[in-house]
Amino acid sequence: MGVTDDFLRGRGRQVLTADEWAALEQAIDRIETFPARTAITRRGDRVRESTLLIEGAMCRYLDARDGYRQLLAYHVPGDFVDMHGYTLQRLDHDVATIVESRVAMVAHGRIDQIMRDHPRLAKMLWRSTLLDAAMHREWIFRLGRLDAAGRVAHFICEVHARMEAIGRVTGDVFALPLTQQDIGEACGLTSVHVNRTLRRLREEGVADVARGEVRVGDAARLARIGEFDADYLYLDTGPWGKIDV
Amino acid sequence: MGVTDDFLRGRGRQVLTADEWAALEQAIDRIETFPARTAITRRGDRVRESTLLIEGAMCRYLDARDGYRQLLAYHVPGDFVDMHGYTLQRLDHDVATIVESRVAMVAHGRIDQIMRDHPRLAKMLWRSTLLDAAMHREWIFRLGRLDAAGRVAHFICEVHARMEAIGRVTGDVFALPLTQQDIGEACGLTSVHVNRTLRRLREEGVADVARGEVRVGDAARLARIGEFDADYLYLDTGPWGKIDV
DNA sequence: CGGAGCGTTGAAAGCCCTCAACGTTTGTGG
DNA sequence: CCACAAACGTTGAGGGCTTTCAACGCTCCG
């Protein structure tokens, strides 16, 4: 059982052929550990390898002129953080750790090999980038159509579902090592308003976000506030989408 | 010169091998025409083919509880509108035409063949979905960090750049067959406020949006208002990203 | 020519931001 | 182990941007 096990966990982990499994494991060049709050890649950088998050938490963001930033994605263990860099070559945003994180580095040359020799596996990597896009779409919806409570609730719901999928929810509690400022940057809100919003959610028994943890008090209500439907995470179909190439 | 020529135009159109060209052309099952304002696919639908927009304008969107919708993407000729459906199988959003549109239908079975036999071509299709994701990210930024004028300006800049790339800008004018309501749905604004915002942009000579057309008066100023940088469209690297598989 | 959809404008209300101050937690070095 | 500083969290007041509500003009098409 190698590090790619994380990539498959919670994604259905259907049968990999021995060949495919080996190709995925061998694609990993090395494991690296980055400290908390560290930028891994900058917008415009040419990238020659992609990173699979094994342990920790990471994010992607764009900077605005006024110094604030907009989070684009939040990453949990098992996520390919910048697989899109394989084909696009240059990143259009920054990538950073939230807490100390262990990541597997995958050289793009290895992915070329997978593209040539393992079309099913290639399709799975493609799929991981499409899930990113699906989450992006839901973030657009969140920012465009929901009010502060809805945005925060939607964000919590998403992370909850994804943490659940990788077995990192204990009871109704899961880790969310973000400051209120971070949550604001994800939801297009100021940290002050995030504070007020979290207080309301807490007072109403919907969710308690504090000290890097979330305790979900009323998941159904939280989902309703955030107009959340986990469909877009495609948790049911697994990494292969039940089809063959 | 077949219909896929559109797909390649403005994307750099590097050399395709004769085989790859043929595979792409043969992947097209048929051409269909849909009337204006018609939903092509609904959220949750299982899809077995993808659509390449040849002529017209299309969009993708999510519905909110209150009846309003949030646009997720705007599509111009040459865009693969739902290539992600190939791997995800089921759509997480609706797809519709804006005006009457001619589209090429590509059966997913044909893409399976391309995955097996034409890794370079497969990588180009993958790439097209990654460009979608890059645009999604920029939409997140737009909604999360910009005010009304910034959002509208950013949106206009994006469409301008993409229309330019496919040779559909004449002077400083290009087609944008959207109502103010549509623009609001793209930018997370009400149509009333879009109206006021467009008036201001018009009065200041920055851009004139009316009667389904945009006349860009001051592109530099427009880009500054929208904090727009076309990097994320990857117009320079072309469909192949200058690498080989 | 009539109607429906779209565009335009004004007034008032609401949500979120800004600014400011203070309390709390965390981490670090003496 | 304590002290201190820095970052984070909390709360209040006031202001601004956008929404809501409403009315009316315009355009286009049947």
* A123 confidence band (pLDDT: 50, 70, 90): confident
Q: Which residue has the higher pLDDT, B4 or A80?
A: A80
Name the 3-class secondary structure at A54.
Answer: strand
What's residue A8's pLDDT?
59
Please report which helix (H) or strand (E) contains residue B28, including its range. Answer: strand B28-34
pLDDT of residue B22 exceeding 90, the answer is no
Of the listed ranges A120-124, B14-18, B142-146, B152-156, the one predicted with least confidence: B14-18
Radius of gyration of chain B (CA): 18
Q: Which residue has the tokens 């060049």?
A: A29
What's residue A162's pLDDT?
95
DSSP A148-168: HHHHHHHHHHHHHHHHHHTT-
Q: What is the pLDDT of residues A183-210, one digit of tens each?
A: 999 999 999 999 999 999 999 999 999 9
What's residue B12's pLDDT?
41
Q: Which residue has the higher pLDDT, A242 or B63?
A: B63
Kindly list the residues from chain A whose CB atom is less than 8 angstroms away from the CB atom of residue B132: 133
CA distance A104 to A80: 9
CA distance A188 to B142: 10
Backbone phi and psi for residue B35, each to the nearest 5 degrees, phi listed first: -70, 170
Mutate to test the interface with B, among A126, A183, A237, A242 (most CBs of B within 10 A): A126
Mean pLDDT value across residues B139-156: 98
Distance in Å, alpha carbon of B77 to nearest chain A alpha carbon? 21
Q: Of B43, B70, B231, which is closest to A140 when you measure between CB atoms?
A: B70
pLDDT of residue B148 exceeding 60, the answer is yes
Q: What is the pLDDT of residues A73-118, one digit of tens each?
A: 999 999 999 999 999 999 999 999 999 999 999 999 999 999 889 8
pLDDT of residue B10 exceeding 70, the answer is no
Q: Which residue has the tokens 């021995």?
A: A18
Distance in Å, alpha carbon of A107 to nearest chain B alpha carbon? 13
What's residue B41's pLDDT?
94
* B9 confidence band (pLDDT: 50, 70, 90): low
Mean of the per-residue pLDDT values for chain B?
Answer: 90
Share of residues in chain A with pLDDT > 90 (%): 77
Kindly list the residues from chain B whose CB atom is less than 8 angstroms away from the CB atom of residue A245: 112, 115-116
Establish whether the CB of A191 is closer than 7 Å to any nucleic acid atom in strand D.
yes
pLDDT of residue B45 exceeding 80, the answer is yes
Q: Which range in A13-22, A61-70, B175-184 is most confidently predicted, on average pLDDT?
A: B175-184
Q: Token pair of A211, please? A: 């000290």
Nearest chain B residue to A109 by CA distance is: B245
Kindly list the residues from chain A whose CB atom is less than 8 angstroms away from the CB atom of residue B64: 141, 145-146, 227
- Closest-approach nucleotide to residue A196, Cα vs C1': D10
Establish whether the CB of B183 is closer than 7 Å to any nucleic acid atom in strand D.
no
What's residue B157's pLDDT?
97
Q: What is the pLDDT of residues A134-155, one digit of tens each?
A: 999 999 999 999 999 999 999 9
Listed as ranges, the nucleotides of chain C within 7 A of a protein C-beta are 5-11, 15-20, 25-26
User: Which amino acid residue lies closest to nucleotide D19, measuring CA to C1'?
Assistant: B190
Mean pLDDT value across residues B179-184: 97
Compute the CA torsion angle B17, B20, B24, B26 (nearest 10 deg): 110
* B244 confidence band (pLDDT: 50, 70, 90): very low
Between vectors from CA B48 to CA B46 and to CA B51, what angle results, nearest 5°?
A: 105
| pTM, full prediction | 0.94
Question: Do residues B153 and B228 lie in contact, with contact meaning Cβ atoms separated by under 8 Å?
Answer: yes
Backbone phi and psi for residue B238, each to the nearest 5 degrees, phi listed first: 75, 180
What's residue A7's pLDDT?
57
Question: Do residues B225 and B150 lie in contact, with contact meaning Cβ atoms separated by under 8 Å?
Answer: yes
What's residue A12's pLDDT?
41
Q: Which residue has the higher pLDDT, A8 or A43?
A: A43
Of the listed ranges A17-26, A43-52, A171-180, the one predicted with least confidence: A17-26
Residue A207's CB is within 10 A of a number of other CB atoms, namely: 23
CA distance A152 to B70: 18
Q: Token pair of A233, please? A: 């995470």
Q: A119-145 and A180-187 are packed helices; what angle lies between their axes, rounded to 10 degrees? A: 90
Nearest chain B residue to A110 by CA distance is: B245
Establish whether the CB of B192 is closer than 7 Å to any nucleic acid atom in strand D.
yes
Look up residue B146 and give its amino acid.
L
* A4 confidence band (pLDDT: 50, 70, 90): low
What's residue A6's pLDDT?
59
CA distance A163 to A146: 23
Mean of the per-residue pLDDT values for chain A?
Answer: 90
Question: Do residues B115 and A244 lie in contact, with contact meaning Cβ atoms separated by under 8 Å?
Answer: no
Mean pLDDT value across residues B109-114: 93
Mean pLDDT value across residues A161-173: 94
Instruction: Outline where chain A has alpha helix (H).
Output: 4-8, 18-26, 84-88, 108-117, 119-145, 148-165, 180-187, 191-203, 219-225
pLDDT of residue A239 exceeding 60, the answer is no
The distance from CA A90 to its chain's CA centroid, rounded to whole angstroms, is 20
Radius of gyration of chain A (CA): 18
Kindly list the residues from chain B whose CB atom is less than 8 angstroms away from the CB atom of residue A72: 137, 140-141
User: Which amino acid residue lies closest to nucleotide C14, measuring CA to C1'?
Assistant: A147
Q: Of A70, A116, A141, which is closest to B62 when you measure between CB atoms?
A: A141
Kindly list the residues from chain A whose CB atom is less than 8 angstroms away from the CB atom of residue B138: 62, 92
Q: What is the pLDDT of residues B72-90, one digit of tens each?
A: 999 999 999 999 999 999 9
Listed as ranges, the nucleotides of chain D within 7 A of a protein C-beta are 7-13, 17-22, 28
